[in-house]
Amino acid sequence: MKRICISEFMDPAAVQALTPGFDVRYEPGWVDQRPALLDALPEADALIVRNRTQVDAALLERSPALRVVGRLGVGLDNIDVGACRERGIQVIPAVGANARSVAEYVVTTAAMLLRGAYLASEQVAAGAWPRARLSEGREALGKTLGLIGYGDIGRQTAALAQAFGMQVVAYDPMLSPDDPVWASTGATCVSLETLLEQSDAVSLHVPLVAATRHLIEVGRLAAMKSGAVLINTARGGVVDESALADALRAGHLAGAALDVFEAEPLSAGSPLAGVPNLLLTPHIGGVTREANARVSMLIARQVRQALEEQA
């Protein structure tokens, strides 16, 4: 019987769906117990991971029977895709299954940051009344949202932002200015410079690759509109965290939200500690009850199909 190892959390119904016909080893703690995971892999035909299990050369070396890697999400930066290709291992991401969750996160967070009114709960509960200071918030209506990367998540985010009355501009060097997607989605194709100059809120939706590492660094933060807000749900390495901390402390940016970080969890002494007007979430942009069920079931179905086709 073929063995499927699952090293991070997966919706129970999807784990159940894999069980008939396969030897399923579901150990969501393996992601933090690498030796135990490596011990289980010599017999594994398939491995299912989220974004924290490093599917690197050392892991692949311990997995001679591996034919399929299922990814419960979309970024592939934790998987050595080239090495998998060379070994004939099929890598299956859950394309599209969590995009809505990320898009809702971005648009609600952009509105919260522009409004600037939600970070004083402790003061209000303690009897303070910072009404004058918090009466300077802005509406989303008529503001410009700049999307860096205009793929699946970028487009779903654009649609929600437009429902709020926002203008959407986007930068994506892989899409030509003639691509029909611009007209069909109502977003304006712009250069990165124009996007930074025009946007009241900037949101990142690119993969982490060499060209996007520290795409948002000190110079590009300085090029953003004064009082703009930044949201990163893409990958931590895309934003220079120290430079962002400086831009927030200096008041150049009115706020930022980060869901992804250069090191996850954050290391002691992170430059982000104690920074004002900064919302931090632990890489949950694409993880909701609904998205988890969709992502898990999609991967269960596709991993089953891939293994059955190879039988």
The residue ranges that bind ligand NAD (CB under 6 A) are: 73-75, 98-99, 102, 148-154, 171-174, 205-207, 211-212, 233-235, 259-260, 283, 285-287
Q: Where are the beta strands (DSSP E) in the chain?
A: 3-6, 23-26, 44-49, 68-71, 90-93, 144-148, 167-171, 188-189, 201-204, 229-232, 255-258, 278-280
Q: Of 80 and 172, which has the nearer Cβ to ligand NAD? A: 172
Asked if 76 and 53 count as a contact pair (C-beta separation under 8 A), the reply is no
Which residue's CB atom is positioned nearest to ligand NAD? Answer: 151
Between helices 99-115 and 152-163, what is the axis angle to 10°? 50
Which residue, 39, 51, 41, 37, is CA-closest to 7? 37
List the Cα angle 155/146/170 in 5-degree steps: 55
Asked if 157 and 203 count as a contact pair (C-beta separation under 8 A), the reply is yes
Q: Of 26 and 150, which has the nearer Cβ to ligand NAD? A: 150
Q: Compute the least distance from the CB of residue 95 to ligand NAD, in Å.
A: 7
Active site residue 139: no
Active site residue 235: yes
Both tokens assigned to 82: 């080239």
Q: What is the distance between the alpha carbons of residues 11 and 9, in angstroms, rounded to a whole number?
A: 7
Q: Compute the least distance from the CB of residue 130 to ligand NAD, in Å.
A: 31
Which residue, 254, 207, 249, 205, is CA-closest to 230? 254
Asked if 293 and 110 count as a contact pair (C-beta separation under 8 A), the reply is no
Q: Compute the least distance from the CB of residue 295 to ligand NAD, in Å.
A: 9
Catalytic residue among 100, 235, 294, 304: 235
Q: Of 41 and 206, which has the nearer Cβ to ligand NAD? A: 206
Q: Of 63 and 156, which has the nearer Cβ to ligand NAD? A: 156
Q: Compute the least distance from the CB of residue 160 to ligand NAD, in Å.
A: 14
User: What single DSSP character describes residue 268?
Assistant: T
Omega before 265 cis (within 30°)?
yes
Query: Among all chains, which residue has been given the structure tokens 């509109």?
Result: 225
Catalytic residue among 220, 283, 294, 304: 283
Active site residue 197: no
- The residues carrying an active-site annotation are 235, 264, 283
